[in-house]
Amino acid sequence: MGLIRLEGVHFRYPRTLVLDDLSLDVRDGAVTVLVGPSGSGKSTVLRLIAGFEPPARGRVVIGEETVSRDGRVMTPPEERGVSLVFQDLALWPHLTARETLELVLSREVPREERRRRTEEALAAVGLERHAEARPASLSGGERQRVALARAIVTRPRILLMDEPLANLDPPLRRALIEEIRQLQRRLTLTILYVTHNHEETFGLGDHAAVLRAGRVEQVGPPRELYERPRSAFVASFLGRCALVPVRARDGGHESALGALPLPRPDPAGSSELLAVVRPEDVVVGDDGPLSGKVERAICLGSAFEVELAGPGWRLWALAPAEPVPGSVLRFSIRRVVTVPASNP
């Protein structure tokens, strides 16, 4: 059982259904990533858990306590043990890092205790030397650390993070992904993290929930979702892939590519399937049994991502050298998974 549970949650604005019978378990002491396209309901889930909105139907449970249910907020936000880090950080421009943290702590906390906890939070995110700095004099990464320190200084049991790294450049994002992961382990935080970024999903998540149109499409460890998606939507959203129609027939199968290394027969007995072909599972080589025309090649640094096409199919492969557009490459496919064709 998770520390946070959403059970049959519905939420809508006057003209828009946002969450549609959504159920989700967030495990205690782990990082769960909510990933999905814009408008899928990710940020709304955080708002319901934080107590800013009640579900129209269903309930939100933290620990053993039902905190919201059927249109009512039963436990106010300040009593939920939850901190939220926003995408825009929402730092006060006139306050130093130290003043920001001390202001967050209740005046019921003795002054010396406020000071001690502020120093601990600044040290936890490596900001001891910037305690007297205001946001305008800090870098993007340092401002992000102030927001993190502000979130943990109250010692929450749950940390909600709404795309906090979206505006950072890739090297800084990678560094902060690792810092957040280390902080979570050191403080044994339960984190629910919203993103649409694959690097954050795989780098941070113990578990991931893929949202689509207000529902959870699939939940599991991120690598499991990538390697064993249950739908074409999950397969496509979590990384580049080709979806090749496959028809099971007479104990075998047909596809525009010919024979594929398919896994065991579909347990549901579906005759209409899609083969999910990832670029890393397409092996380019002169002895490959298949061939395709090079449509384009994109340099990834250490390799080239090549778009190949043939009659009725199109896929991507990784090649060590840049091929000539219009040339023909031979290749083989070492692994595919299948998903139902009825759930594109």
Looking at every residue in the chain, the average pLDDT score rounds to: 91
- Regarding whether 245 and 196 lie in a shared domain, the answer is no
- Regarding whether 11 and 158 lie in a shared domain, the answer is yes
pLDDT classification of 270: cutoffs 50, 70, 90: low
pLDDT classification of 60: cutoffs 50, 70, 90: very high
- What pLDDT, on the 0 to 100 scale, is given for residue 108? 74
Q: Is residue 320 part of a domain?
A: yes
- Regarding whether 165 and 41 lie in a shared domain, the answer is yes
222 has a pLDDT exceeding 50: yes
Q: Is residue 291 part of a domain?
A: yes
5 has a pLDDT exceeding 90: yes
Query: How many structural domains compose the chain?
Result: 2
Q: Is residue 232 part of a domain?
A: no
Q: Is residue 253 part of a domain?
A: yes
9 has a pLDDT exceeding 50: yes
Q: Which domain holds residue 31?
A: 4-227
Show which of 181, 204, 227 is a domain's final residue. 227
- What pLDDT, on the 0 to 100 scale, is given for residue 210? 97
Q: What are 278-302's pLDDT values in tens digits?
A: 999 999 998 889 999 999 999 988 8
- Helices of type H across the chain: 42-50, 97-104, 111-124, 140-152, 170-187, 198-204, 222-227, 232-237
In this prediction, residues 168-183 reach a mean pLDDT of 90
Which residues neighbour 135 within 8 Å (Cβ) at sequence distance 6 or greater?
91, 92, 93, 143, 146
267 has a pLDDT exceeding 60: no
266 has a pLDDT exceeding 80: no
- What pLDDT, on the 0 to 100 scale, is given for residue 271? 65
